A = this chain, B = another copy of it.
Amino acid sequence: MTRYVYDFAEGGKDMADLLGGKGANLAEMSRLGLPVPAGFTVTTDACREFLHTGKVPADLDLQVQEHLASLERGAGRLLGQADDPLLLSVRSGARYSMPGMMETVLDIGLNDNSVLGLGMSARNERFAWDSYRRLVQMFGNTVMGMDGTLFEEVLTRIKEQSAAADDTQLDTAELIRLVETYKDLIQASTGEAFPQRPVDQLQRAIRAVFRSWNGERARLYRRREHIPDDLGTAVNVQIMVFGNLGTDSGSGVAFTRDPATGRAGVYGDYLANAQGEDVVSGIRDAVPLDELANRDQTSFAQLLTHMRTLESHYRDLCDIEFTIERGALWLLQTRVGKRTSQAAFAIAAQLEREGLISRNEALARVDGEGLVRLMFPRFAGSAATKVIASGIPASPGAAVGAAVFSSAEALRRSAAGEKVVLVRRETTPDDLPGMVAAEAVLTSRGGKTSHAAVVARGMGKVCVCGAESVTVTSHCFTAADFTVHEGEVISVDGSEGNVYLGAAPLTASAVMDYLESGAPHPAAHASQVVKDTQHFLARADAARRLEVRANADTPQDAARARRFGAQGIGLCRTEHMFLGDRRPLVEAMILAETDAERNAALAALLPPQRQDFIEILEAMDGLPVTIRLLDPPLHEFLPDRTDLSVRAALADAGGKALAGHERKLFEAVTRMQETNPMLGLRGVRLGLAIPGLVAMQTRAVAEAVVARVRAGGDPRAEIMVPLVATTEELATVREEVVRLWAEVMSKAGENIACPVGTMIELPRAALTAGRIAQSADFFSFGTNDLTQTTWGFSRDDVEAAFFSAYLEKGIFETSPFETIDREGVGRLIRLAVAEGRDARPGLTVGVCGEHGGDPASVHFFDRAGLDYVSCSPFRVPVARLEAGRCALEPARADEVD
Contacts and interface: CB of A to CB of B under 8 A. Distances in A.
A676 B789 contact: no
A688 B806 contact: yes
A792 B725 contact: yes
A458 interface: no
A793 to B, nearest CB: 5
Interface in A95-110: none
Interface string A750-777: 0000000000011110011001000000
Contacts of A792: 678-679, 683, 723, 725, 761-764, 785, 789
The CB with the most chain B CB atoms within 10 A, among A788, A791, A793, is that of A793
18 contacts: A642-B642, A653-B654, A674-B794, A675-B796, A675-B797, A676-B794, A679-B793, A680-B798, A688-B802, A688-B809, A689-B802, A725-B791, A725-B824, A732-B809, A732-B811, A764-B791, A767-B828, A785-B792
Interface in A643-702: 645-646, 649-650, 653-654, 671, 674-681, 683, 685, 688-689
Nearest to A821: B764
Interface in A631-646: 641-642, 645-646
Contacts of A678: 675-676, 679, 792
A728 interface: yes
Interface string A817-829: 0000101110110
Number of identical monomers bound together in the oligomeric complex: 2
Nearest to A432: B671
Listed residue (A646, A676, A828) with the most chain B CB atoms within 10 angstroms of its CB: A676
A764 B809 contact: no
A623 interface: no
A726 interface: yes
Given A763-B763, A802-B689, A810-B728, A794 B679 contact: yes
A653 B649 CA distance: 10
A802 B677 contact: no
A727 to B, nearest CB: 9
A645 B643 CA distance: 8
Given A689-B802, A723-B792, A763 B680 contact: no
Interface of A: 430, 641-642, 645-646, 649-650, 653-654, 671, 674-681, 683, 685, 688-689, 723, 725-726, 728-729, 732, 761-764, 767-768, 771, 785, 788-794, 796-798, 801-802, 805-806, 809-812, 821, 823-825, 827-828
Contacts of A791: 725-726, 762, 764
Contacts of A824: 725-726, 763-764, 767-768
A645 B646 CA distance: 7
B762 A790 contact: yes
Contacts of A654: 653
B681 A794 contact: no
B732 A797 contact: no
B681 A679 contact: no
A661 to B, nearest CB: 21
Contacts of A681: 797-798, 801-802
Nearest to A683: B792
Given A723-B792, A729-B811, A679 B679 contact: yes
A791 B682 CA distance: 13
Given A675-B796, A678-B676, A680-B794, A685 B802 contact: yes
A790 B764 contact: yes
A824 to B, nearest CB: 4
Contacts of A676: 676-679, 794, 796-797
A674 B796 CA distance: 8
B680 A801 contact: yes
Contacts of A677: 675-676, 797
A683 to B, nearest CB: 8
Contacts of A789: 763, 789-790, 792
Contacts of A671: 430
A541 to B, nearest CB: 35
A680 B793 CA distance: 6
Contacts of A768: 823-824
Given A688-B811, A732-B809, 19 more contacts: A641-B642, A646-B646, A675-B797, A676-B794, A678-B679, A679-B793, A680-B793, A680-B794, A680-B798, A681-B802, A685-B793, A688-B802, A688-B805, A728-B810, A728-B812, A762-B790, A763-B828, A764-B824, A785-B792
Contacts of A793: 679-680, 685, 725
Contacts of A688: 802, 805-806, 809, 811
Contacts of A827: 767
Interface centre among A654, A728, A810 (most CB of B within 10 A): A728
A674 B797 contact: yes
Contacts of A790: 762-764, 767, 789
Contacts of A649: 646, 649-650
